[in-house]
Chains A and B, each alone.
Chain A
């Protein structure tokens, strides 16, 4: 386990020593602040509209960070050939997969924490109260969802050679699930038979990332989720992530590594 943590530590160091992370963060921060400073509309509808946009930005930024960070991990190790001294140590390929996953997930967690903290401070300062429970639930579920995304990007980085094509495909898949995932069963109902089964199977196979999107809770003063639901959602994500990581390990295990 120490090995996995050591590997994760390198991923996190890389994230905060690269500049793109700060660019994205500053961008989101500036937008959030700008919107927070708009005072001339004292209309609550506009306030919640602005919060909506902020949260959307946070979602996009977090996805960008999670996917791009993960997608380049193993390809960069191979390109810079650091994978060779690494695997010459008493490190198994399974530990490399686990370490990269943990590092990327924690790194996106850190980024997410910063984003939410910022959002929380700004919106609390505007509204003088914050639905803490809902806020924490949204943060937690968001992070749990990113575990699936990181697992997907890690698996993708072993399937597709170029990190950029992997990142693009991951984006399309994740956005597709987020936007269409919940409607697929209705779509299936409208299809003729062979297609209907196909669409239904897709509906049951895909990880339903859209379930983790509980931004509405923060926008419209809904009550928080039941804790059992949070737990179930966490378990569901855990199972999907484990399957993706298993797939990544199986692919990586037999891969010959030459220049």
Chain B
């Protein structure tokens, strides 16, 4: 884990003291709601449908056992015993009181947690690979670069009032687990033929009402120039990005209207013009940040664990091992993925008891590390295979051993109208209905990888545009309806899904998914995922299956 220093602690303490004062002035009437609202939002506190919601930052999705315990304590003491992990690798508490918030923030600070960069038109929390430091195929640790971006962007005076919020993703693996191409800037770290580290720089991706897959404007930016080049991009955006229309203010609209080539030219121009050595991070500073992550003291183990293999005699463990554990870069270790998608549960929700159990398991068996994924799951990145059966048992004891990673019931769902004031429709009950439909784990495994993503409105927090099957809630004449899209992907083969047909009423959605899956099973070729089959056949057979009844009617 990254070790924060005294400067970080002082910054957070100052910010919390300032907000405590602002809250007390609001409660005493010195500040009006109009004056206070932007201050509240800058500290992660939103007013939602039923109450305030506090969004706590989890920089690049990395948590320690101690931080997880602190989140559990907040859930229990100031909320209703649970929290919700989001597609931004953050956590939201849905029942926080304004009058408690200063205490909550002070408490979080004792565990080096805060709500900075979780709201407002600034550079938000950087998304990164939840397998960082554990994935065999990564070329460098993406957390180091994410931390560089965090330090550079936090309270950056030039980029605090951008035209709109700004999200960056960093991955260092060919398998993209960050949805890099759906971010304002996606950074894919690679080594070139000479072995030098450099970033593919992707700009202008995004979801919302006009989704775009980002365009590559640099194939290989030398890694040491990351900050100067990011500065150049942000300068172009800050200068030319639209501020007159909320829906046209994201960088994707600017990149689309200028064209990627012209945007790249402007960025290069800004880059040439600046004092680059001043903007870039000195090597010593990079080395300091790298060293602050410390080393995990992996043991030397045989690649094959007899205990692990023997435990597969138990069907439940074997299934868990198949679906939730993937190889680690160190022999004898595995990456354990913890699904927050129990059948019929709320995607991304985690109770205080579960958080504490995870903290204990991570401490005992996982070098104290826990990661949050943008798919609303958790990861224990460093578990010795010998310990995997014990970890599985520990997870099962708190209802966290659902063996469905990347399967049909491993859905993303935003909070939707059950919590969110902006929603058009509920998302969670739809997810619950679909997961009940596919409760049979054998069938789910037979279907294989299938990513369903659900948003309660066009803001697309549930990433529906990039779901293999996307589901978007709409309000149709005062009723909740759902628009299905097919063929999206947020991974390295990123694509925006296509609308299947007229929106469906809530009670028809799970059945429609069932029909889509049946079509896929009937026509798939060997090795084809749902997405591959769709790409081969196009929408025809799928559309026919879902709307055939409608035609008969």
Asked if A pairs with B, the answer is no
Measuring CB to CB, which residues of chain B are less than 8 angstroms from any residue of chain A?
Answer: none
Measuring CB to CB, which residues of chain A are less than 8 angstroms from any residue of chain B?
Answer: none
